Amino acid sequence: MTYAFAEVDKAKEEARIHGFRVLDFGVGDPTEPLYENAIRGLQSGAERHKSSGYPSYIGMKEFRNAASEWMHRRFNVSPDPDSQITSTAGSKEAVFHLPFAFVNPGDHVLMPSIGYPPYKAGAVFAGGIPRFYPLREENGFLPDLNDIESVLRERRTKLIWINYPNNPTTAIAGDSFFSDLISLSQKYGAIIASDEAYTEMYTNKKPHSILEYTDDWDNIIIFQSLSKRSNATGIRVGFAAGGKELIGYYRKFRTQIDSGVANAIQEAVISALNDEEHVQKMRDAYNKKRKFITSALEEVGIKYWADSTFYIWAESPSSSISFAKSMLTLDDSAKIGINITPGGMLALGNAPNADNYFRMALVPSLEETELASNLIRENLNQ
């Protein structure tokens, strides 16, 4: 897939060299500004903390309290700020580092075969063996628990990664999936690592946290992030929550990685955690963009999924790599094209179905999104 990646990148460069304007729906990085109060908090925080030294490894008490209170308001669960929460520098590093704390060389780490690359990279760098479960369209892009159990039965599996709302398929997991997975993981003594970075990005159905489905969090850890909720990718802040022993050990391990999240950043995002209005605005903005693209896809007869996250997952009319290349120069006369991510590029393991799909991240402006929807309508009509 590295080759395919390079191939699409090269085609993007070439399109630009040939004078094409490329509307970029590739990487999922929000272009909207950070929550206003957080910006003000950062400005005043720099002054307040001008000589405060290293921040706390686990996050300041006020930040952990705010995270716990938010979890309570949002999911009706209350992780103990003293023992069940730790701050992280966004979830990417936290996800990548988790296996270093818990995986011994040769342990299996189970993850979706299409998904977020740090699940695999973390497992490999920690000496674990990545194993994959498929995400099938006929199963609503949820893992089949039989696939999971067949790996668990084989040999020691330390971690099971799940990611709902899901990047890239936009699927949201339901109650029975979480409950059944918890029972299965307890039976085999595996840790569930639930990447919940997208719980606040949804259309109609409000996503859940796996922590809601049991009081016994001994083998569960979840990852939350301010990145998508508050357009905060640029300031790197999030938190992990879960069982006391898990969090305790993870905290200990993390003292060797860095020295915590800057105090000014933690304080600034407390106001973001306490505000839901800006989060609703974020959802409204993506809903508008989503509507533009999904109605165009519908008109040209392309099947899509768009239940959550800021992605659209859609069926590729041809092999996803060649389709992505053709999209870059979609309108030859107007010299304008669209950058999408071919599903094949998102495969972590053996995922023969990945190449049948493509992903669009709704990060360009509303105007650019409307333009892209018109381009799709006019040029992809089959």
Ligand X SMILES: Cc1ncc(COP(=O)(O)O)c(C=O)c1O
Q: Residue 335: which of 12, 18, 13 has the closest Cα?
A: 18
Binding status of residue 200 toward ligand X by CB under 6 A: no
Write the secondary structure of 157-202 as one string of H (helix), E (strand) and C (coil). Answer: EEEEEECCCCCCCCCCCCHHHHHHHHHHHHHHCCEEEEECCCCCCE
Segment near ligand X (CB under 6 A), from 89-97, 179-187, 212-220, 280-288? Answer: 89-97
Judged by CB under 6 A, the residue of 71, 152, 170, 195 near ligand X is 195
Of 74 and 92, CB closest to ligand X: 92
CA separation for the pair 218, 201 (Å, rounded): 28
Binding status of residue 373 toward ligand X by CB under 6 A: no
CA of residue 295 relative to chain centroid, distance: 24
Smallest distance, Å, CB 342 to ligand X? 16
Binding status of residue 170 toward ligand X by CB under 6 A: no
CA separation for the pair 46, 43 (Å, rounded): 6
Q: How many C-beta atoms lie closer than 10 Å to residue 246's C-beta?
A: 22
Binding status of residue 197 toward ligand X by CB under 6 A: yes
Judged by CB under 6 A, the residue of 28, 41, 342, 344 near ligand X is 28
Smallest distance, Å, CB 233 to ligand X? 5
Binding status of residue 231 toward ligand X by CB under 6 A: no
Reading the block at residue 266, the tokens are: 């933690």
Binding status of residue 167 toward ligand X by CB under 6 A: yes
Which residue shows structure tokens 């105090």? 263
Segment near ligand X (CB under 6 A), from 85-93, 101-109, 331-339, 365-373? Answer: 85-93
Neighbouring residues of 212: CB distance < 8 A, sequence distance ≥ 6: 75, 76, 77, 178
CA separation for the pair 38, 18 (Å, rounded): 41
Smallest distance, Å, CB 318 to ligand X? 26
Reading the block at residue 66, the tokens are: 């705010």
Answer for the pair 324, 341: CB distance below 8 angstroms, yes or no: yes
Sheet arrangement for strand 85-88: 85-88, 238-242, 220-225, 191-195, 157-162, 108-112, 129-133
Segment near ligand X (CB under 6 A), from 6-14, 225-233, 242-250, 264-272? Answer: 225-233
Binding status of residue 169 toward ligand X by CB under 6 A: no
Of 227 and 373, CB closest to ligand X: 227
Segment near ligand X (CB under 6 A), from 3-11, 49-57, 58-66, 86-94? Answer: 86-94
Of 225 and 341, CB closest to ligand X: 225
Reading the block at residue 19, the tokens are: 């004078």
Over the window 323 to 342, marking each residue x when it contacts ligand X by CB under 6 A and - when it does not, the resulting string is --------------------
Catalog residues that contact ligand X under the rule CB under 6 A.
28, 90-92, 95, 116, 163, 167, 195, 197, 225, 227, 233, 238
